[in-house]
Amino acid sequence: MKIIKVKDYQEMSIAGAKIIKEEILKKPNLTICFATGSTPIGMYQALTKMYQHKELDFSKVTSFNLDEYVGLGQSNPCSYHYFMYKNLFNHININKNNVHLPNGIGDIAKNASDYEKLIASKGGIDFMILGLGTNGHIAFNEPGSKIDESTREIKLTQSTIDANKIYFDNENDIPKTAISMGVGSIMKAKKIILLANGIKKADAIHNMIEGPVTSNCPASFLQKHHDVTVIIDTEAASKLKNS
């Protein structure tokens, strides 16, 4: 696990964008899995600027996403489908036919199985972007998740629901479950970067990097992956002892 420590959110965002740029330049038809939430927004803004300055071409990239709320349609402003178009896809030249997100509407078990088959049909994930929950979750793999699980419907913990309140006008509108790639799905990615910033993530970063490998902190399973880069700001790194 490679650790990159930076000063602040802006430096974290730029560092992540530069790594993605290198990967796309090496392989223009990269298959990349995107994350949502507040953490990667700055990185997506940096990627947009790279595209606008003709430093990057996304036309051959295939994209997947980690997760989606169950019960929210694509046009819902709180859906991750809406998020990705608002924050990245509408601003770059990615082929919309190559954009894939989990479907949180209808038969979720079938949707999850179909999503795994679609990823496999594209040759798997070359490059994956992860954020980190305060409780150590990656994607929506909450504490208790196992290392071999695939895409499935997951019941969200109260801490995750509370963290997502800022995105909803009414607390009662927050979905209680999500369809999410599993830890097993994530571990199949060839290369992973994880971004985290702020003091609220410090405990989770410590547990992920220096704690035991345990389902109590699903992110700790990344210790077993062969190519993970963690980009963290000073506050997120503040409880690390050896890294």
Q: Which of 167, 109, 159 lies closest to 137 in space, CA to CA?
A: 159
Alpha-carbon gap, residue 149 to 137, rounded angstroms: 14
Alpha-carbon gap, residue 55 to 188, rounded angstroms: 29
Cα–chain center distance at 229: 13
Alpha-carbon gap, residue 36 to 40, rounded angstroms: 7
Mode of pairing for the β-strands spanning 2-6 and 31-34: unpaired
Give catalytic residues, as residue numbers.
67, 135, 137, 142
Q: Which residues contact 164 (CB under 8 A, 6 or more apart)?
A: 156, 174
Laid out side by side, the sheet with 228-233 consists of 2-6, 228-233, 191-196, 127-130, 31-34, 62-65
